Amino acid sequence: MALKMVKGSIDRMFDKNLQDLVRGIRNHKEDEAKYISQCIDEIKQELKQDNIAVKANAVCKLTYLQMLGYDISWAAFNIIEVMSASKFTFKRIGYLAASQCFHEGTDVIMLTTNQIRKDLSSPNQYDTGVALTGLSCFVTPDLARDLANDIMTLMSHTKPYIRKKAVLIMYKVFLKYPESLRPAFPRLKEKLEDPDPGVQSAAVNVICELARRNPKNYLSLAPLFFKLMTSSTNNWVLIKIIKLFGALTPLEPRLGKKLIEPLTNLIHSTSAMSLLYECVNTVILCVQKLRILIEDSDQNLKYLGLLAMSKILKTHPKSVQSHKDLILQCLDDKDESIRLRALDLLYGMVSKKNLMEIVKKLMIHVDKAEGTTYRDELLTKIIDICSQSNYQYITNFEWYISILVELTRLEGTRHGHLIAAQMLDVAIRVKAIRKFAVSQMAMLLDNAHLIASNTQRNGICEVLYAAAWICGEFSEHLEEANQTLEAMLRPKVTTLPGHIQAVYVQNMVKLYASILQQKEQAGEKEAAQEITQLMIEKLPQFVQSADLEVQERASCILQLIKYIQKLQVKEVPVAEEVIALFAGELNPVAPKAQKKVPVPEGLDLDAWINEPPSDSESEDEKPKTIFHDEEQRHSRHRQPEIDEEELARRREARKQEQANNPFYIKSSPSPQKRYQDTPGVEHIPVVQIDLSVPLKVPGMPMSDQYVKLEEERRHKQKLEKDKKKKKQKKEKRGKHHRHNSLHTESEEDIAPAHHVDIITEEMPENALPSDEDDKDPNDPYKALDIDLDKPLADSEKLPVQRHRNVETLKSPDSEALLVEKKSKKPKKKEKKHKEKEREKGKKKEKEKKVVEEEEEKKVICQDLHCLKSKSSKHKKKKHKKEKEEKSKDKKKSKKKSHHSEEETTESVQNGTLDDEPLPPMSSYRLLAENPYIKMTYDIQGNLQNDSQVTVSVIFENKSTSFLKSMELNVLDSLNTKMLRPEGSSVHDGIPVPFQLPPGISNEAQFVFTLQSIVMAQKLKGTLSFIVKNDEGSTHEKLDFKLHFSCASYLITTPCYSDAFAKLLESGDLHMNSIKVDGISISFQHLLAKICFHHHFSVVERVDSCASMYSRSIQGHHVCLLVKKGENSVSVDGKCSDSTLLSNLLDEMKETLSKC
Residues 1148 and 1132: their CA atoms lie apart, in Å, by: 11
Residues 238 and 232: their CA atoms lie apart, in Å, by: 7
Interface segment toward another protein; rule CB under 8 A; list 232-240, 248-256, 529-537, 1117-1125: 232-240
Interface segment toward another protein; rule CB under 8 A; list 229-237, 552-560, 600-608, 716-724: 229-237
Interface segment toward another protein; rule CB under 8 A; list 267-275, 631-639, 868-876, 1137-1145: 267-275
- Closest approach, Cβ 206 to another protein, in A, equals 7
673 φ/ψ angles, rounded to the nearest 5 degrees: -60, -30
129 touching another protein, by CB under 8 A: yes
What number of CA atoms fall less than 13 Å from residue 242's CA on the CB side? Answer: 30
Interface segment toward another protein; rule CB under 8 A; list 38-46, 65-73, 315-323, 377-385: 65-73
When binding is defined by CB under 8 A, the residue of 37, 38, 45, 277 that contacts another protein is 277
231 touching another protein, by CB under 8 A: no
Question: Following DSSP, what letter does each residue of 821-867 receive, concatenated?
Answer: GGGHHHHHHHHHHHHHHHHHTSTTHHHHHHHHHHHHHHH----B---
Residues 816 and 949: their CA atoms lie apart, in Å, by: 10
- Closest approach, Cβ 183 to another protein, in A, equals 19
What type of residue is 1103? D
Residues 266 and 238: their CA atoms lie apart, in Å, by: 9
When binding is defined by CB under 8 A, the residue of 62, 83, 116, 206 that contacts another protein is 206
When binding is defined by CB under 8 A, the residue of 7, 87, 409, 828 that contacts another protein is 87
Q: Give the CA distances from residue 885 to residues 173, 504, 829, 842, 879, in Å, rounded to whole numbers and listed in that order.
A: 20, 89, 12, 22, 10
Interface segment toward another protein; rule CB under 8 A; list 273-281, 981-989, 1043-1051, 1069-1077: 273-281
Residues 1129 and 1079: their CA atoms lie apart, in Å, by: 7
625 touching another protein, by CB under 8 A: no
777 touching another protein, by CB under 8 A: no
- Closest approach, Cβ 1040 to another protein, in A, equals 48
347 touching another protein, by CB under 8 A: no
What type of residue is 643? D
Residues 390 and 739: their CA atoms lie apart, in Å, by: 9
- Closest approach, Cβ 225 to another protein, in A, equals 17
19 touching another protein, by CB under 8 A: yes
63 touching another protein, by CB under 8 A: yes
Q: Kindly report the CA angle at 526 between 523 and 528, in degrees rounded to 5? A: 75
1076 touching another protein, by CB under 8 A: no
Question: What residues have CB less than 8 Å from 1085, skipping those under 6 apart?
Answer: 916, 918, 919, 1155
53 touching another protein, by CB under 8 A: yes
Please tell me whether residue 798 adopts helix, strand or coil conformation: coil
35 touching another protein, by CB under 8 A: no
State how far Cα 759 lies from the chain centre.
23
Rg of the chain, C-alpha, whole Å: 46
How long is the chain? 1155
Q: Kindly report the CA angle at 53 between 51 and 58, in degrees rounded to 5? A: 100
Identify whether the C-beta of residue 418 lies closer than 8 Å to the C-beta of residue 380. Answer: yes
State how far Cα 1104 lies from the chain centre.
60
Considering the complex, state which of residue 24 and residue 623 has its C-beta at the smaller distance from another protein: 24
Please tell me whether residue 211 adopts helix, strand or coil conformation: helix
18 touching another protein, by CB under 8 A: yes
- Closest approach, Cβ 191 to another protein, in A, equals 13
When binding is defined by CB under 8 A, the residue of 209, 398, 813, 956 that contacts another protein is 209
Interface segment toward another protein; rule CB under 8 A; list 81-89, 545-553, 884-892, 904-912: 81-89
When binding is defined by CB under 8 A, the residue of 274, 454, 483, 667 that contacts another protein is 274
When binding is defined by CB under 8 A, the residue of 124, 625, 656, 1073 that contacts another protein is 124
- Closest approach, Cβ 5 to another protein, in A, equals 13
812 touching another protein, by CB under 8 A: no
Considering the complex, state which of residue 102 and residue 374 has its C-beta at the smaller distance from another protein: 102
518 touching another protein, by CB under 8 A: no
Pairing of strands 876-877, 925-929: unpaired
Which residue from 440, 460, 542 is spatially nearest to 495, judged by alpha carbons? 542
To the nearest 10°, the Cα dihedral for 903, 905, 907, 910?
-140
237 touching another protein, by CB under 8 A: yes
The shares of helix, strand and coil residues in the chain, as percent rounded to the nearest 5, are 55, 10, 35
When binding is defined by CB under 8 A, the residue of 3, 68, 605, 974 that contacts another protein is 68
379 touching another protein, by CB under 8 A: no
243 touching another protein, by CB under 8 A: yes
When binding is defined by CB under 8 A, the residue of 49, 114, 234, 801 that contacts another protein is 234
Identify whether the C-beta of residue 1128 lies closer than 8 Å to the C-beta of residue 1077. Answer: yes
Identify whether the C-beta of residue 102 lies closer than 8 Å to the C-beta of residue 137. Answer: yes
Considering the complex, state which of residue 140 and residue 823 has its C-beta at the smaller distance from another protein: 140
- Closest approach, Cβ 63 to another protein, in A, equals 7
Q: Give the helix ranges, DSSP H, for 452-543.
A: 462-473, 481-488, 498-522, 525-538, 540-543
212 touching another protein, by CB under 8 A: yes
Question: Following DSSP, what letter does each residue of 501-525 receive, concatenated?
Answer: HHHHHHHHHHHHHHHHHHHHHHT-H
Identify whether the C-beta of residue 57 lies closer than 8 Å to the C-beta of residue 18. Answer: yes
Considering the complex, state which of residue 70 and residue 347 has its C-beta at the smaller distance from another protein: 70
Please tell me whether residue 948 adopts helix, strand or coil conformation: strand
- Closest approach, Cβ 200 to another protein, in A, equals 10
Considering the complex, state which of residue 243 and residue 754 has its C-beta at the smaller distance from another protein: 243
- Closest approach, Cβ 751 to another protein, in A, equals 33
Provide the terminal-to-terminal Cα distance of the chain, rounded to the nearest Å.
44
- Closest approach, Cβ 218 to another protein, in A, equals 15
123 touching another protein, by CB under 8 A: no
Q: Per-residue x/- mask for another protein, residues 972 to 991, rule CB under 8 A?
A: --------------------
909 touching another protein, by CB under 8 A: no
The residue count for binding another protein (CB under 8 A) is: 64
When binding is defined by CB under 8 A, the residue of 79, 83, 93, 1042 that contacts another protein is 93
74 touching another protein, by CB under 8 A: no
Considering the complex, state which of residue 39 and residue 928 has its C-beta at the smaller distance from another protein: 39
Q: Per-residue x/- mask for another protein, residues 184 to 203, rule CB under 8 A?
A: -------------xx--xx-
What number of CA atoms fall less than 13 Å from residue 292's CA on the CB side? Answer: 15
| DSSP 8-state code for residue 414 | S
- Closest approach, Cβ 428 to another protein, in A, equals 44
Which residues ranging from 145 to 184 are in contact with another protein (CB under 8 A)? 161, 164-165, 168-169, 171-172
Identify whether the C-beta of residue 434 lies closer than 8 Å to the C-beta of residue 477. Answer: yes
Question: What residues have CB less than 8 Å from 525, skipping those under 6 apart?
Answer: 519, 568, 571
- Closest approach, Cβ 143 to another protein, in A, equals 11
Interface segment toward another protein; rule CB under 8 A; list 206-214, 521-529, 548-556, 671-679: 206-214
Residues that bind another protein in the complex, under the rule CB under 8 A: 17-19, 22, 53, 60, 63-64, 67-69, 71, 73, 87-90, 92-93, 96, 99-105, 124, 126, 129-130, 132-133, 136-140, 161, 164-165, 168-169, 171-172, 197-198, 201-202, 205-206, 209, 212, 234-237, 239, 243, 272-274, 277-278
